[in-house]
A = this chain, B = another copy of it.
Amino acid sequence: MGLRVLIVGGVAAGASAATRARRLDYDAEIIIFERSGHVSFANCGLPYYVGDVIQEREALLLQSPERFRDRFAVDVRLRHEVESIDRVGRRILVRNLDTGETVWEPYDRLILTPGASPIIPPFDGVDCQNVFFLRTMEDTDAFRACVDAGTVRRAVVVGAGFIGLETAEALTRRGVQVSVVELLDQVLAPLDEDMARRVAEHLRENGVSLYLGSAVSNFKAEQGIVTEVIMEDGRTLPADAVLLSIGVRPNTRLAREAGLTVGSSGGIQVDQHLRTTDPNIFAAGDAAEVVHAVTGRRVTVPLAGPANKHGRLAGEIAVAGKGASAAKVAATAIVQVFDLTVAVTGLSRKEAERAGIAAQHALVSRRHHVGYYPGAEEMLLKLVYEPGTRRVLGAQAIGGAGVDRRIDVIATAIHFGGTLDDLSNLDLAYAPQFGAAKDPVHIAAFVADNQERGLFRQVEPAAVGDLIDQGYQLVDVRHAEEFAEESIPGAVNIDVDELRARVGELDPDRPVLVLCEVGQRGYYAARILQGLGRRDVVNLSGGYVWYAVQCPDEDTQRSG
């Protein structure tokens, strides 16, 4: 008889574990217990089904129990909940949710892939039929039915993370007026606040109302329906439907009650071979800890990529007894927000600082391919690195085409512990419709390198007010036409191409802040002024474009 391998939870990690175990062990008996009514469904696609981008429900059902049985000889038991683990007896207590019956199932190896559950705040009416979470097919079916029925005119999304924003977009596309309420002062917590501001602006441009730094205090529910979301400042938002997407919590009850160690991150502790503190029990996916590629710390990263890869490895080691070390995780993630693609890998500056790692960054605004070929799209790329060691810590990108590619390149460099010099030297694919001989990744590394070597100093838009107060003179080095359109109040215009000739117009006694459109000509200007002996020159990082995002005028700030 072969090994008996039981798997708790059959979505990403569990399904990967089962099929990999089968391929490596023909004789094992492999059973998946899945609490919901579906196995291996496309949970990342759920907002798109609500938004009718994915039109066929069947497309979301990646595998059926029949397919698991026929192709992989894996026994999938849906609507079966595992209630407890008897580690001494090597058995688990399983409840059939339809019949209520329970039975002890013995195991040789147990793989815990129970995922994470949405955090449910203690509001009135959180179990109402128009409050959704988008974590299960059942919930998604109900949400879509409700939108299809045309009864949702106004919806409130609580939580501006990935699923929250994807759902805000989906509902907007279906004609629903959407408000997003977020406790933090920004959308998308993995981004630094400056980058998040660009995303928030774009959400507003697309008609989404944003309430940042706003806590929900309660719901108002009538006759089994939530009708209003009440914020702590007393304001209320009428709602025909609510998405609760304030985060997830690893499902660790089973593990904890069985005496397995749960780490301070809140996830089940595993070693590099995904073994829990019991050598016959493995864990992977949203419920388990992973090692962060940059900090080396144990964290939980509820994302599909690590879940699938770690699930596969857990399945392998469970039957083979050995295998590779589990991949460290850079927490690389990507999300579409209307016309913007937003992606991140490694640490933001804020996260680096929180982790006690000194961080500096370079922000570049580039096109995704050379401007002379039609169709170039703008991209903001923020590269975060450790001064001194020059180690790459992370990156954030916002734009259209090519954002995925640059973040993946930097994620790959982070995997190898790469530095700014590595990024500068990468030999990347170039043709006019695909990039530039000096790619945005190179340019970001060049800027960071120039900063590190003291070739120039940059300041963030938020600092401009202070510099003006300190007596800095603002020199806009763009062309006169660009300057005429808009600039920072108080700036004088000297085209960088005239700067050598007109340098006498500058006040020799006041320090200089140079600015241009995106920061590049400002750098040239700073080098010219430094070449002429001035040591009191700083460049505005990201130029006027970035300033306009960070310091919008009051009218802009008020919108939405």
Contacts and interface: CB of A to CB of B under 8 A. Distances in A.
Contacts of A418: 416
Given A62-B372, A372-B42, A527-B23, A429 B343 contact: yes
Given A327-B425, A531-B26, A335 B48 contact: no
Contacts of A545: none
B412 A528 contact: no
> Which of A304, A324, A402, A432 gathers the greatest number of chain B CB atoms within 10 Å?
A432
B62 A327 contact: no
Nearest to A418: B416
A360 B327 CA distance: 24
A188 interface: no
A305 B430 contact: yes
Interface string A320-344: 0000100111111111100001010
Contacts of A411: 426-429
B330 A427 contact: yes
A310 to B, nearest CB: 10
B405 A53 contact: no
A408 interface: yes
Contact of A308 (B27, B308, B343, B438): B438
A373 B415 contact: no
Interface in A378-436: 402, 404-405, 407-409, 411-413, 415-416, 418, 421-422, 424-435
A303 B409 contact: no
A45 B309 contact: no
A463 interface: no
A76 interface: no
A293 B425 CA distance: 11
B42 A345 contact: no
Given A42-B370, A412-B409, A435-B404, A427 B335 contact: no
Interface in A174-191: none
Given A53-B374, A70-B497, A372-B62, A404 B429 contact: yes
A307 interface: yes
A354 interface: no
A437 interface: yes
Contacts of A48: 373, 432
In this complex, the member of A341, A433, A496 whose beta carbon has the largest number of chain B beta carbons within 10 angstroms is: A433
Contacts of A421: 324
A418 to B, nearest CB: 7
A373 B424 contact: no
Interface in A37-75: 42, 44-45, 48, 53-54, 59-60, 62, 67, 70-73
A306 interface: yes
Nearest to A335: B431
A370 B41 CA distance: 12
B442 A429 contact: no
Contacts of A407: 429
Interface of A: 12, 16, 22-24, 26-27, 42, 44-45, 48, 53-54, 59-60, 62, 67, 70-73, 162, 293, 303-309, 312, 324, 327-336, 341, 343, 345, 370-374, 402, 404-405, 407-409, 411-413, 415-416, 418, 421-422, 424-435, 437-439, 442, 455, 496-498, 500, 521, 523-524, 527-528, 530-532
What are the 5 tightest A-B residue pairs by CB atom distance, in nearest-first order? A26-B531, A327-B425, A70-B497, A334-B429, A405-B405
11 contacts: A26-B532, A44-B370, A59-B371, A67-B497, A327-B425, A334-B430, A343-B429, A404-B434, A405-B408, A412-B413, A413-B416
